[in-house]
Amino acid sequence: MKNAFTKDNTSEAATAGKTLQAAFINFDTKTLSAQQQKIFTDIADDAKEHAEHIGANGGNIAHQREHFDMLSKDMADLIQTFGNGGQTLYKDFCPMYNKGKGAYWISETKEIKNPYLGKAMPTCGTVKEEIKQ
C-alpha cells in the first residue's frame, strides 16, 4: 500500500486497502493471550476502518492518504506491541504533510520514499526510528 502511494497510484492503493481489510478480518487471534487479544482488537478495529476507506476511495488519493496517516499510527502501535515479525523496519517522518503537521509511515527500506507527497517530493522525510528484530 505504501509503495502504491509513493507512486501516486490510487487504484493500487485501493486494492491494497481491501486486501489489508480482509487480513484484519481473517486474522486469527487465538494464538494471542487474552490481554493481547484485547489490545489487538482495539487497534485492529480502527485500522480495519482506515483500510476500508482506502479501499473504497480509489480515485481520491488525497482522502486515501488522510486514512493512510491514521492507519500508519495503528501499524506503529501494532508493531510496538506485537513486534515486527522478524523484519527490520523503519519509522519514517514526513514533516510537510497535512500543512506542516507531518506524518509517519512504516517502511521496510532505509531509503526514503515518501508515500504522502509521492512523485512531487519522493525523498522528503527522515528515518526517526529503526525497528530491529
For binding to Cu ion (CB under 5 A), which residues are involved?
53
Q: Which is nearer to Cu ion, 53 or 113 (CB)?
A: 53
Q: Which is nearer to Cu ion, 49 or 77 (CB)?
A: 49
Smallest distance, Cu ion to C-beta of residue 61, A: 12
- Of 110, 46, 37, nearest to 73 by C-alpha is 46
Smallest distance, Cu ion to C-beta of residue 73, A: 15
Cβ atoms 94, 118 nearer than 8 A: no
Smallest distance, Cu ion to C-beta of residue 126, A: 28
Q: Which is nearer to Cu ion, 43 or 71 (CB)?
A: 71
Q: Which residues contact 4 (CB under 8 A, 6 or more apart)?
A: 10, 12, 13, 15, 16
